[in-house]
């Protein structure tokens, strides 16, 4: 039986969604973030040493990293669904976006969250102006321009095809959904990039996406 080690409000929502798209049976083992630190509980480190979500168990296998999990599920259980045929330009784009999501898109979005928290977090009053100034410089000089450049690029790519890998919806769209959701939540993505906003709308309208939300429970973007 496939078991998803699922942390509330997290990237593991994508794995539930993929399993719903593939109509595979699965169980959810739930973990709750600490309400103050928002970190995963120590119990998740008993499943995988890094204690991050998602983690997938399938028989003897334990696998972390959402991209690796998605590749595994599609290859092992997908029967050719949600992946373009090998050797096609779409397959290469599929691979590219599958990696881009966590390798390029997420790091500046996570950095933004961290630096926003630094600026707002508790600290002695005399440190606050300095901390805020440093956080502001890093955000305006590095983080936000990177996010904006990536969003412009994604917006342009969605002008080439309906979905990230081509004309067909693929598992790369599931992987890409998280950075696009995160950008809409806190990365400045809005109606000025209509293709990305429309893409989000199309994702949210999918039945398997909705079923995964129902099974996963609360979902809002954190890290």
Ligand X SMILES: N[C@@H](CCC(=O)N[C@@H](CS)C(=O)NCC(=O)O)C(=O)O
**Which parts of this chain interact with ligand X (CB under 6 A)?**
7, 10-11, 39-40, 52-54, 65-66, 102, 223
147 or 166: whose CB is closer to ligand X? Answer: 147
Residues with Cβ within 8 Å of residue 206, at least 6 apart in sequence = 21, 169
Grouping H, G, I as helix, E, B as strand and the rest as coil, residue 63 is: strand
Q: How far is the CB of 145 from ligand X (least distance, A)?
A: 23
Distance between CA 63 and CA 59 in Å, rounded?
11
7 or 165: whose CB is closer to ligand X? Answer: 7
Distance between CA 178 and CA 102 in Å, rounded?
9
Residues with Cβ within 8 Å of residue 53, at least 6 apart in sequence = 5, 6, 7, 10, 11, 12, 31, 40, 44
Q: How far is the CB of 157 from ligand X (least distance, A)?
A: 21
Distance between CA 182 and CA 169 in Å, rounded?
20
79 or 220: whose CB is closer to ligand X? Answer: 220
Q: How far is the CB of 113 from ligand X (least distance, A)?
A: 11
98 or 166: whose CB is closer to ligand X? Answer: 98
Q: How far is the CB of 73 from ligand X (least distance, A)?
A: 13
């Amino acid at each position: 039986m496939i078991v998803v080690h699922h942390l509330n409000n997290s990237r593991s929502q994508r794995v539930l969604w993929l399993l719903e798209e593939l109509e595979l049976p699965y169980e959810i083992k739930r973990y709750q973030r600490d309400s103050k630190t928002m970190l995963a509980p120590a119990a998740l480190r008993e499943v995988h040493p890094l204690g991050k979500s998602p983690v997938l168990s399938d028989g003897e296998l334990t696998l972390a990293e959402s991209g690796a999990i998605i590749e595994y599920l599609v290859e092992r259980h997908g029967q050719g669904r949600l992946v373009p045929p090998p050797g096609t330009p779409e397959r290469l784009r599929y691979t590219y976006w599958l990696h881009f999501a966590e390798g390029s898109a997420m790091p500046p979005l996570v950095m933004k969250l961290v630096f926003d928290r630094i600026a707002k977090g508790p600290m002695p009053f005399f440190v606050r102006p300095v901390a805020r100034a440093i956080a502001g410089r890093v955000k305006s000089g590095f983080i936000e321009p990177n996010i904006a450049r990536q969003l412009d690029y994604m917006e342009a790519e969605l002008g080439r095809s309906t979905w990230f890998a081509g004309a067909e919806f693929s598992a790369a769209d599931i992987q890409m959904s998280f950075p696009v959701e995160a950008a809409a939540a806190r990365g400045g993505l809005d109606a000025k990039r209509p293709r990305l906003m429309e893409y989000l709308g199309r994702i949210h309208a999918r039945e398997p996406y909705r079923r995964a939300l129902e099974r996963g429970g609360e979902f809002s973007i954190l890290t």
